[in-house]
Amino acid sequence: MITISQLSTELQSEAGLVRAVDTLSLTIARGETFALVGESGCGKSMTALSILRLLPDSGRVVSGRVTMGGVDLMALPEQQMRDVRGSKISIIFQEPSTSLNPVMTVGQQIVEVIERHTALRGDAARSKALQWLERVGIPEAARRVDSYPFQMSGGQKQRVMIAIALAAEPDLVIADEPTTALDVTIQAQILDLLKELQQSQKMAMLLITHDLAVVSQMAHQVALMYAGQIVEVASAAAFFATPRHPYAVNLLDALPDAQQRGRRLAAIAGSVPALNQRFSACRFADRCSDVSALCLSAEPALHTLPGGHAVRCVLYRDPDAPGVATRHSDLAHEPQHVAQAKDAQPARALLQVQDYRVWFPIRKGLLQRTVGYVKAVDGVSFRLHSGRTLALVGESGSGKTTVGKALLQLLRGTASITGQAHLDGMALDSLQGPRLMEARRAIQIIFQDPFASLNPRMRVSELLQEGVAALQPHISAADRLARVEGLLDKVGLPRSSLTRYPHEFSGGQRQRLAIARALAVEPRLIVADEPTSALDVSVQAQILNLLSDLQRELGVAYLFITHNFGVVEYLAHDIAVMKDGKLVEYGAAEQVLTHPQHSYTQALLRAVPRLARRA
């Protein structure tokens, strides 16, 4: 259906010329799902924008062809390219909230596509838009067709995006991280919907994602991208059964799940190299445990092995070479001693929560009288011991984050909080003044988005010392500096980071800074609110290894808020499942994961995409 040949894209930036896509070639057949995977910064999304010619003003396709139906899309005038977008090729963007027009109803936005690319007009176009809303599973479609995007949930907005992308029945759909921020149940619904629509429409799909479990469920072919290049191409079955490139092997070993529990994940050191440079060696060489002098002598070519499996690695210049897939890297798997932590737990829990309620008032009228309450948290009870991890799981809107913020006393004055929450015997909700400051030193939080939670105007040194100066004022400036330097060593960042600003770090590095800031005051409990949800597989493995190490060394307890069940299986000792502000199931991780009692927990576990492990 579509052939991409030697596609290269460049961007002008303050750091120089960025070669975002470098001589990329691939072919997608009709009805096929082709997955493009890799870390952030590898060039996946830039590839999608290059195909559609939607690059920013600073970008341009410098060479290559994108051929569809015998026509080179790169050679078309812009007016004809507008006819291709939507009718022949469409795209589902990662973030529907920023992709949907906030001042147009969802029906108008679908009608706009239908009238632009088909012969339907007026009532006929509106009727077709209503049919698409029904097909993508929007409840009460006849009423919701006139709703605005802000009146819909995240999952519903993503469904609307899918309806817009498919409204003109294109031949190829590019799905750019279509489920990254969704709960597992909504993710399962969206993936099933895409499968069903793909089969009924006979369309091809380019699936861009870093979720390898989703790829294993959806894809027919897989291309692994690294630093602007494709480094491995194979059928999905071959890719997951016998990965060839060292990068692919490491990525699969970095995935957390129950089988990896008690081991260190195979985190890949370093990060994707900057693309504003000319490469004269293998781009993965400085992160590869199988590197040799040959890797540093020249850039490797893409070698095609028997069966069509292609890999860009010098280990495969000889077709009979066994390669790294049969060797694995020499990774030191270190047991986590979970049993010892369980046996050593004290009689009294560090955190005890009993019948906890957090209700937000609904105010109306000129005098803003309270006419009701939103019961965000409605009577939850649990306990957490030192050195252990309690995973708080559930769908968006179930009240997980509200529990964490309320325990840190961040909702005082905005919500009605009742029930009991004791931290080492202290009643958190009744604390004032110095005693509240003491409690906040003992309990810290890691927010989901480190970029939003780190002050962009403060250097790292100021960010890390701020909490110590406020909560431990007796510590001298010299001792504060020595402490934060030690923290950078602990979280794996160079001490030179102290003089830099948050925007100068990658996402994974910023999350390490957020962890260091939480640890700066030596807390006994950390509330971790989705700390790995937006991270690549390799960076997630680094963060999970770090959290495990710190728990063993310091005895820190974690209240881990997440919807990633792979992380839960790997890290959690106990699990509490929330739905509509209530706990529906609570118990030891092994019991909840293997013998769930509540139907909601069972539905969540059924919706989790699974990746078959290699033998």
Name the one residue in this structure whose structure tokens are 């029930």. Answer: 419
More confident residue, 301 or 505: 301
Average pLDDT, the chain: 87
What pLDDT is recorded for position 80? 93
If one counts every other C-beta atom within 10 angstroms of the C-beta of residue 473, the result is: 8
What confidence tens digit (pLDDT) does each residue in 509-520 have? 888 888 889 888
Long-range contacts of 396-400, Cβ-Cβ distance < 8 Å, separation of 24 or more:
396/153, 396/154, 396/183, 396/563, 397/153, 398/578, 398/579, 398/580, 398/581, 399/358, 399/578, 399/580, 399/581, 399/582, 400/529, 400/561, 400/578
Last residue of a domain, one of 125, 150, 165: 165
Average pLDDT over residues 356-385: 90
User: 435 — phi, psi (to 5°)?
Assistant: -70, -35
Task: Say if 374 falls within a structural domain.
Answer: yes
Chain mean position to CA 527: 19
Helices and strands per DSSP (H, E), number in the chain: 23, 22
Which residues lie closer than 8 Å to 278 by C-beta, 6 or more apart?
none
User: What type of residue sits at position 569?
Assistant: E
* Cα 346 to Cα 8: distance, rounded to the nearest angstrom: 60
Task: Say if 75 falls within a structural domain.
Answer: no
Is the Cβ–Cβ distance between 110 and 168 less than 8 Å? no
Name the one residue in this structure whose structure tokens are 């009228």. Answer: 365
Structural domain harbouring 478: 338-607
* Cα 497 to Cα 354: distance, rounded to the nearest angstrom: 42
Task: Say if 249 falls within a structural domain.
Answer: no
Longest dimension (CA), the chain: 80
Last residue of a domain, one of 134, 165, 196: 165
pLDDT band per the 50, 70, 90 thresholds, residue 103: very high
Is the Cβ–Cβ distance between 129 and 145 less than 8 Å? yes
| Structural domains counted in the chain | 2
Cα 332-543-567 angle, rounded to 5 deg:
90
What confidence tens digit (pLDDT) does each residue in 31-57 have? 999 999 988 778 898 999 999 999 989
Which residues lie closer than 8 Å to 447 by C-beta, 6 or more apart?
453, 514, 529
* Cα 198 to Cα 202: distance, rounded to the nearest angstrom: 6
What pLDDT is recorded for position 343? 40
More confident residue, 561 or 540: 561
Percent of the chain at pLDDT > 90 equals 50
Task: Say if 369 falls within a structural domain.
Answer: yes
Average pLDDT over residues 86-105: 89
Is the Cβ–Cβ distance between 94 and 66 less than 8 Å? no
CATH code where residue 438 lies: 3.40.50.300
Task: Say if 26 falls within a structural domain.
Answer: no
What confidence tens digit (pLDDT) does each residue in 159-197 have? 899 899 989 989 999 998 887 767 788 888 888 888 888
Range of 263-277, 324-338, 430-444 with top mean pLDDT = 430-444
Average pLDDT over residues 255-266: 83
What pLDDT is recorded for position 260? 82
Percent of the chain at pLDDT > 70 equals 94
Task: Say if 237 falls within a structural domain.
Answer: no
What confidence tens digit (pLDDT) does each residue in 447-496 have? 877 778 889 999 999 999 998 998 888 999 999 999 999 888 888 788 88
What pLDDT is recorded for position 148? 93
Whether 327 shows a pLDDT value over 50: the answer reads no
Whether 600 shows a pLDDT value over 60: the answer reads yes
pLDDT band per the 50, 70, 90 thresholds, residue 331: very low
More confident residue, 492 or 76: 76
Q: Is residue 127 classed as helix, strand or coil in its secondary structure?
A: helix
Average pLDDT over residues 87-94: 90
Is the Cβ–Cβ distance between 186 and 207 less than 8 Å? no
pLDDT band per the 50, 70, 90 thresholds, residue 614: low
Task: Say if 13 falls within a structural domain.
Answer: no
Average pLDDT over residues 589-605: 93
Whether 368 shows a pLDDT value over 90: the answer reads no
What pLDDT is recorded for position 532? 80
What confidence tens digit (pLDDT) does each residue in 392-443 have? 998 877 889 899 999 999 998 899 999 999 998 889 998 888 888 888 889 9
What pLDDT is recorded for position 425? 86
Helical pair 154-166 and 184-201, crossing angle rounded to 10 deg: 10
Is the Cβ–Cβ distance between 274 and 348 less than 8 Å? no
What confidence tens digit (pLDDT) does each residue in 291-315 have? 888 899 899 999 898 888 999 998 8
Whether 156 shows a pLDDT value over 50: the answer reads yes
Last residue of a domain, one of 131, 147, 165: 165
Nearest one of 558, 564, 608, 598 to 578, comparing CA atoms = 598
User: 270 — phi, psi (to 5°)?
Assistant: 80, -160
* Cα 221 to Cα 204: distance, rounded to the nearest angstrom: 12
What pLDDT is recorded for position 612? 62
* Cα 120 to Cα 127: distance, rounded to the nearest angstrom: 10
pLDDT band per the 50, 70, 90 thresholds, residue 258: confident
Whether 335 shows a pLDDT value over 70: the answer reads no
What confidence tens digit (pLDDT) does each residue in 107-152 have? 999 999 999 999 999 999 999 999 999 988 888 899 999 999 988 8
Token representation of residue 114: 């239908």
Task: Say if 445 falls within a structural domain.
Answer: yes
Is the Cβ–Cβ distance between 5 and 74 less than 8 Å? no
Average pLDDT over residues 212-227: 92
Average pLDDT over residues 271-292: 88
Range of 33-42, 465-474, 539-548, 576-585 with top mean pLDDT = 576-585
Chain mean position to CA 364: 38
Tell me whether strands 172-176 and 89-92 are parallel, antiparallel or unpaired.
Answer: parallel
Token representation of residue 160: 């609307």
Whether 322 shows a pLDDT value over 80: the answer reads no
